[in-house]
Amino acid sequence: MSADHVSYTLDSTLETVNNAEETAGRMAAEAGFDDEEIMKISMAVREAAVNAVLHGNAYDPSKKVTLAFERTARDFVIIIRDQGKGLDPGKIPDPLAPDNLLKTSGRGIFLIRSFMDVVEIHPSQTGTELRMIKHVHGNPADSKEAPQ
């Protein structure tokens, strides 16, 4: 597979969440992933888009979400950036902790980490960049970052 890169600049709307999910599913299918993996990738992207639109940009119409896909011989890489205050990875509660099980939110990052092979969170003063990788079939997978 040759390197392939595409990126989108999107509004901070619910429509962006749905579009990101659909685009991820389509591109994952084109990359040759099976139905199960396509579902996981598209759901991870949906959760990341929800974080960017809802928690990062807080639906602010002046703030944008950047969604980028990159296909290499080894990896399917997805990067989502928002223009929010910056997500502190150290402050993400464990949704599996007994005290958090019945909370109605806080599972998005956990699901992303469950579904993708590598997840990196890069917060800054200008927003948060979430980098997700799914290894392409037939290639040895690197060790999974932040296993749950």
Query: Which is it for the CA torsion 34, 35, 41, 44, positive or negative?
Result: negative
Q: Which is nearer to another protein, 9 or 18 (CB)?
A: 18
Q: ∠ CA 8-19-147 to the nearest 5 degrees?
A: 85
* Distance between CA atoms of residues 24 and 9, nearest Å: 14
- 63 binds another protein per the rule CB under 8 A: no
Q: Which stretch binds another protein (CB under 8 A): 10-18, 26-34, 73-81, 121-129?
A: 10-18
The yes or no reply on residue 33 touching another protein (CB under 8 A) is no
DSSP state of 142: P
**Between 7 and 18, whose beta carbon lies closer to another protein?**
18
104 forms part of the interface with another protein (CB under 8 A): yes
If the CB atoms of residues 9 and 148 are measured against another protein, the closer one turns out to be 148
Distance CA 61, CA 83 (A): 11
Residues in the chain: 148
List contacts with another protein (CB under 8 A). Answer: 14, 17-18, 39, 43, 46-47, 50, 54, 95-96, 101-105, 107-108, 110-111, 114, 148
